[in-house]
Structure 1
């Protein structure tokens, strides 16, 4: 069983990813840390608590973290997750309190308490994680790895066709706080980056039979997932929109689901059309040697991934 911290900004796809992580017998969720991203941090932290109460797992601490990117204002997400941030599901207001400590301190304390055992599943802008390694750089070698929904790498047409940042060439999490992403990419922590090339692939869509399974299930979390899918379908999108962040959780649950290549990657922090773009230097010659090497996802077993989500939600 792997010990994980889930750093997130719920968001409907984060909400499903939390359900998948908490219900998985392969993971032990040590803490959930919320950050500003899809919505302000006051909303994302409360939404995380709503998911825990839905699953009756309020033993897991939820800590509120950074309210804005390191050096920028928080942009408005061009993709709406609804008035509640959870696809108009409107889960009850939580009665469970947030953790007393700031999310950055919770990350530091949890890593130190479990040195060498913690994996961070990063589903949001990397602001909390960047702040944690700035505040306590000694934790860097104590983190087993980070699996992040981060970037787009030009590996297929989905890389830009499904761009989620607010410009033509970016993914939302990196776009929101490119300086934080740059810091985490360069930190030396083993990083698996799942970009839009894989996480928004159109093969990541539920079948009609699977939708019928969800609709007929008595599980409240299945009803939530079904409602979220109906929300995105009703807006002209496809069901992959609900599944993006679950891809990172699934990759930690079952590493055989996702294939990676090692690549030198830089984060654009200055451009207008390309702010937040992740640039892979894959040249034969003259590669920039100072770029960090990360594992970039290039393929996944999408059908097996979908079945993992279905089986876990329905369990």
Structure 2
């Protein structure tokens, strides 16, 4: 059986690293390339983080492309230090001084377009960060979305619960205009793993301890980069996630990747039009679900609501038993 072709667009923080590792471990997935965008860290740090993840999994042959260093229109919000200033927990000391030589010269948006054009209607695009590269791609080539097989997005929110602002999720809040463009103009099948979806299908901290204490290179890497990060501490100060959903372990980006790898992980979803709010001091960047056809849009997306948590947990656990040769 032919492998599923995947392009990953990422702002590689710790949860992105886990999602990338999950894709690399999937036996029926071929990662054509990884495109980098600002978000959890500056785009140069993101590029280095992706190279590090590929190196840990012994998959350095996968091309990495540098993309946008800021949002489509407005000034960038400050990148948070949720995963440390470098996106991977500020624990990696042996930085590669020649990392830039390993990044492809082609811009991420152009690479996306080329890889999809070379494999029309075969590529699943998995977007794990702000959607700036995707918005640039559709501006450069308006026919780009219709050449995709499908699109999986980790981002947005469905209940008005925000994690960086009162009402908006991080990836959409970092570049609301790009999120708006993508959800208006990408008419391919689109699956959204929202912030609430991830949090409502969370795993336990006991599972997390078992996950990172496996005897394998990828698990040891994940244990290292989470070791000093408060986002991966059960004892950390209560944050918005804990207030809304209770204490739990959530590997956000892995939920979108799992849905792409194995659709049976998703057990319930809602199909409806959505729109990203661009105005206001409170709701800017919030994703609104139109369950009553108020917007009269012709295009709907699939908003994921429930998953098989046991199956998702198995995908996570198995993914950290790397490197595994293909």
Same fold (TM over 0.5): yes
Mean CA deviation greater in 72-81 or 227-236? 227-236
Quick check: 1:190 aligned with 2:195?
A: no
The match for 1:129 is 134
Q: What is the deviation of 1:92?
A: 3.7
The match for 1:296 is 303
The match for 2:219 is 222
Equivalent residue in structure 1 for 2:67, among 65, 71, 94: 65
Secondary structure at the aligned position of 1:32 is classed as strand
**CA RMSD of superposed structures (Å):** 2.0
The match for 1:245 is 253
Quick check: 1:280 aligned with 2:289?
A: yes
Equivalent residue in structure 1 for 2:152, among 147, 150, 159: 147
Cα deviations by residue, 1:31-51 (Å, 9 ceiling, x for unpaired): 000001111111111111111
Q: What is the deviation of 1:256?
A: 1.0
Contact kept, 8 Å, 1:206 with 1:306, in 2: the verdict is no
Output the TM-score relative to the length of structure 2. 0.87
Mean CA deviation greater in 80-89 or 257-266? 80-89
The match for 2:244 is none
Q: Distance in 1 between matches of 2:218 and 2:45?
A: 20
Cα deviations by residue, 1:215-269 (Å, 9 ceiling, x for unpaired): 2x3312101223444432153476634x100111100111011132111211001
Quick check: 1:256 aligned with 2:257?
A: no
Quick check: 1:88 aligned with 2:85?
A: no
Q: Distance in 2 between matches of 1:142 and 1:226?
A: 38
Contact kept, 8 Å, 2:67 with 2:107, in 1: the verdict is yes
Q: Distance in 2 between matches of 1:11 and 1:212?
A: 21
Secondary structure at the aligned position of 1:83 is classed as coil
Residues 218/144 of structure 1: CA separation in 2 closer, same or farther (3 Å cut): same
Cα deviations by residue, 1:73-102 (Å, 9 ceiling, x for unpaired): 221244521133112341642445101111
The match for 1:270 is 279
Quick check: 1:309 aligned with 2:313?
A: no
Q: Distance in 2 between matches of 1:213 and 1:20?
A: 13
The match for 1:36 is 38
Counting matched residue pairs gives: 303
Secondary structure at the aligned position of 2:282 is classed as coil
Q: Distance in 1 between matches of 2:9 and 2:211?
A: 30
Q: Distance in 1 between matches of 2:175 and 2:206?
A: 37
Mean CA deviation greater in 72-81 or 43-52? 72-81
Gaps of 5+ in 2: 239-246
Gaps of 5+ in 1: none
Q: What is the deviation of 1:29?
A: 0.3
Output the TM-score relative to the length of structure 1. 0.90
Equivalent residue in structure 2 for 1:19, among 5, 13, 21: 21
For residues 135-174 of structure 1, the aligned pairs below 5 Å read 135-154=140-159, 160=161, 163-165=162-164, 167-174=165-172
Quick check: 1:108 aligned with 2:113?
A: yes
